[in-house]
Amino acid sequence: MLKAYRYRIYPTTEQKVLLAKSFGCCRWFYNYALNLTNETYKATGKGLSRNEIINKLPELKKEYEWLKYLLSLCNR
C-alpha cells in the first residue's frame, strides 16, 4: 500500500521573500552546474562528478557574494 501526505504552508511575507531567494539561488546553481557539465563533456568527452561540482561552490561564493545565502541554507 502506498501512502501520500499533502502539506500546505502559509508563509509570512518575510518568509516568502526568503523562499524566493533560496529557490533562485538553487535554480541558478543548478543551471550553472548543468552548463559546466555539458561544456566539460563536449571538451573532454567526460562528465563531472557530484563532488567536483560541489567543490566549485567555495570559488563561486567568492565571486558571487549572494551565493553565501545558498550555502547557509544548505548547511541547516
Cα–Cα separations (whole angstroms), residue 38 to 25, 43, 45, 56, 58: 20, 9, 10, 15, 21
Q: Tell me, what's the pLDDT at 44?
A: 93
pLDDT at 5 over 80: yes
pLDDT tens for 14-58 read: 989 888 988 888 899 999 999 999 999 999 999 899 999 999 988
Give pTM, 2 decimals.
0.76
12 phi and psi angles, rounded to 5 deg? -75, 175
Q: Tell me, what's the pLDDT at 69?
A: 66
